[in-house]
Amino acid sequence: MSDQKLIVMRHAKSDWSTALGRDIERRLNPRGRMDALRMGRYLRELEISPSCIKSSPARRAAETAELVSGALGGLPIIYEPSLYLATLKELIEVARLPPSSCWILIGHNPGLERFLEFLDPGLRSCIEFAKLMPTAAIYAFDVDLSEGKFQQGCGTLSQHHRPKLLDRSR
């Protein structure tokens, strides 16, 4: 039984030269903007239909959220301050209060990789890449809340993709 569809996405590739010393201000670079848009289009093709995006307020995550939202027809974006460089505990707290039954969470590593392994502890063994969560990668999970709570192992991976695997025509 799936009570929730959760799509976890890492922000797209950022430009280290634009932050002027402040990590939170880093913008997307041209490849990052293209990848965010392409991943948004990919999600649209899956016909999953998320109803909103919860994003870190960091500029690179916010720009990723805006591009994905646009590709999906203008989804509302909720900026969640605790998602900026969130720990596993903070990510679990955000996920425990889902804004809808199908939504997108956009954040940062290393917390996101730990969160993926919390959702599905066997995930790393079925992913053939050294890096679990590169920039702009997405993981869609069916989340089973039949135990009445968000707990370790409650996610089943239903989709996974990353920009480098997409056809360049998207």
Question: Which SS3 state, helix, strand or coil, does residue 166 take?
Answer: coil
Instruction: State which amino acid sits at residue 16.
Output: W
Number of domains in the chain: 1
Q: What confidence score (pLDDT) does residue 7 get?
A: 98
CA atoms within 13 A on the CB side of 126: 12
Q: What confidence score (pLDDT) does residue 44 get?
A: 94
Output the furthest CA–CA distance in the chain (Å, rounded).
47
Q: What confidence score (pLDDT) does residue 169 get?
A: 56
Q: Residues 6 or more apart from 103 whose CB is under 8 A from it? A: 4, 5, 6, 7, 50, 51, 52, 53, 54
Are the C-beta atoms of residues 95 and 105 closer than 8 Å to each other? yes
Range of the domain at 25: 4-165
Rounded to whole angstroms, how far apart are CA atoms 125 and 161?
A: 16
- Model pTM score: 0.94
DSSP per residue, 63-84: HHHHHHHHHTT---EEE-GGGT
Q: Is the pLDDT of residue 107 over 70?
A: yes
Residue 170 lies in a domain: no
List pLDDT tens digits, range 50-90.
999 999 999 999 999 999 999 999 999 999 999 999 999 99
Residue 73 lies in a domain: yes
Q: Is the pLDDT of residue 97 over 90?
A: no
CA end-to-end distance (rounded Å), the chain: 33
* Confidence class for position 1, pLDDT limits 50, 70, 90: very low
Q: Give the CATH number for residue 45.
A: 3.40.50.1240
Give the length of the chain: 170
